[in-house]
Structure 1
């Protein structure tokens, strides 16, 4: 029964971080928002994760596609983590 109480919280955490990434990317279009308190917070939270992808994925023209790859991988990790949590849970039942 504990499995079904943990999974929604894990899912929400991944969903919230994905939304934070989207908000951070959209903020790049409005430079004034980047210097606000929310902008600085999102930069501290999102940039370490996005920085990993920016090292390996060059921009295509003026478009940075690394956030798309980062969000895709985040969803892939979320699905994999769900499988691992379920396997571990049922192993100890």
Structure 2
């Protein structure tokens, strides 16, 4: 979540960002291995969160169908 600046005097925000990063990075790093950021001018667009969300939605749908029978 590099788009959210780290503000040292908001400890609760830093704690939340650290938690979210620790929880999501293992999943996102899996997708980042196969999907490098897309260069757009001087910056880059990381598509890993979008692809990971899409894949997790598909897996959740399949799991729900299997559970329902």
Q: Please give the range of the TM-score, normalised by the shorter of the 2 chains.
A: 0.7 to 0.9
SS of alignment partner, residue 40 of structure 1: helix
TM-score (norm 2): 0.78
User: Paired residue for 2:58?
Assistant: 76
- Give runs of ≥4 in structure 1 deviating > 2 Å: none
Structure 1 segments unaligned to the other structure (5+ residues): 1-26, 88-93
Could you tell me how far 1:31 is from its partner in structure 2? Answer: 2.5
C-alpha distance in 1, partners of 2:24/2:68? 28
User: Paired residue for 2:3?
Assistant: 29
TM-score (norm 1): 0.60
Please state which structure has a larger fraction of its residues in helix.
Answer: 1
Q: How does 1:30-49 map to 2 (within 5 A)?
A: 30-32=4-6, 36-49=14-27
Please state which structure has a larger fraction of its residues in strand.
Answer: 2
Structure 2 segments unaligned to the other structure (5+ residues): 8-12
Q: How many residues align?
A: 60
Structural RMSD (CA): 1.5
